[in-house]
Chains A and B, each alone.
Chain A
Amino acid sequence: MEKTYVTFDPRSKLCTILFASFLLMFPLPFKAEVLFVTLLYVLFFLNGSLKKGTLFYGIFWLLVLGDYLLFPYIDNGVAAFFDFLFVGNRRMLPTIMAAAFAMNRTKISEWIAALKKCHIPFGLIIPLTVLFRFFPTLFQDFRSIRNALKYRGIALSTAELFLHPFQTMEYIIVPILMSAENTSLDLSSAALVRGLANPKTHTSVYEIRLKIQDYLLISILILSAIVGRLI
């Protein structure tokens, strides 16, 4: 049975990412940070991925705990280094969490429809679409090239790939670039047939519209930013 969950507009998800990265630049007090991470946890819960959210939340509290335990021994250099890693990674966690929330249950086509709504120039959206769509092909190519290399007796084990990085690079990047020429030709003809060059506004299957939960989320973010600065 399909679980029910609250969906969010990609644009409000983008707002969450932006807020998280502002948090990285202009640090809020520790209490506000805990509140924001908890908010992200709630968002994960609403979005129907309780397990992923719990994992991130657990990592956050583990990092806090590690910092708390190490702090008395800070005068020693090694402990200071590890403490630095704990605190630093705790600061990085909200951005990673926000991005994971943004990618969670959002289709690439939805992202593209949302970006179109934001009036991102057409010349940027096409390459971005191709970038997303091309990745599966790229990994497939990578695997076939790897197999072909093994068949020819070049770099039989993964360790050998690391030992001769320049040779590896030449043997992997050059074939991919060769096939990329053909792929770009194929893709452009397919795209032209599907009317990409049509100058009129394109329609989308996905209805991109801000709903109540999106307005709620954005206003909570703005409010918490203001309150967080005031505390």
Chain B
Amino acid sequence: MNKLKIQDFISIGIYTAIYFLVVTIAMVILRFTIPAFNSVLIPSATALFAGIVYLLVIHRIPRFGAITIMGSVMGLFFLVSGHFPLSFLPNILCAVVADWIQYHTKLSEKARTMFSYTVFSFGLMGPVLPLWFMKNAYIDSLVARGKDAVYIDKVFAPITTTTFYVCTIAVIVCSILGIIIGQKIYNKHFDKAKGKNYGKNIRNV
């Protein structure tokens, strides 16, 4: 297995920045269209649009480790900029699993890409996690001021389970759609325009 070079690290950084731009755009669009609880839909909205970025990373840097680094950098960036400090772990875990699926399983190429992209998209579940903590905090404060627990359970039980299922299913459906859209865009713009050896030429400079 050939190791990653300095150029590869730099390309990974740039693709991560673009991926992050997609996340930001998705966040802004959702914030304007859905007033509350919009963070639940961030992973699926990003999955829908970022398929092309993921495909490019796979095609340009076809080595084990690229996706792991991308996920870890996303996690570190979230940690330092403090948006969702807890999203560090899901990002790295999902990225490692996605990387492993991409390069160490014997599925057909299309299914492999689709599957690993779905797993990778789950890394963005980090922003959703605070919602659960928010809910727990709310229940705590209600209990502390003497509301009875049965009433609280009755009110909140459907909210969490439904949002969780909706979120999971939305991520799966959107990432499959996203990778199909991404494949179309890739064939339209990147395959013909530059020739298939373009990426290889860059790395041999």
Q: How would residues 4 to 25 of chain B score, 1 for a CB under 8 Å from any chain A CB and 0 otherwise?
A: 1011011111111110111000
B145 — which chain A residues lie within 8 A by C-beta? 71
Tier of interface size on chain B:
35 or more
At the interface, is chain A mostly helix, strand, loop or mixed? helix
Given contacts A173-B49, A184-B14, contact A123 B137 (CB under 8 A): no
Which of A14, A98, A127 contacts B69, CB < 8 Å? A127
Q: How would residues 92 to 108 of chain A score, 1 for a CB under 8 Å from any chain B CB and 0 otherwise?
A: 10011011101100000
Does B17 contact A134, Cβ atoms closer than 8 Å?
yes
Interface residues of B (CB under 8 A from A): 4, 6-7, 9-18, 20-22, 29, 32-33, 36, 49, 52-53, 56, 60, 65, 69-70, 72-73, 76-77, 79-86, 130-131, 133-138, 140-142, 144-145, 147, 155, 181, 185, 189-190, 194, 198-199, 202, 205
Interface residues of A (CB under 8 A from B): 14, 17-18, 20-21, 24-25, 27, 30, 67, 71, 74, 80-81, 83-85, 87-92, 95-96, 98-100, 102-103, 111, 120, 123-124, 126-131, 134-135, 138, 142, 162, 165-166, 169-170, 173-174, 176-178, 180-181, 183-185, 187-189, 191-192, 196-197
Further contacts, 13 of them, CB under 8 A, given A103-B81, A174-B189, A181-B199: A17-B79, A17-B85, A30-B144, A88-B137, A95-B84, A95-B85, A99-B81, A126-B6, A135-B17, A165-B49, A166-B181, A184-B10, A191-B10
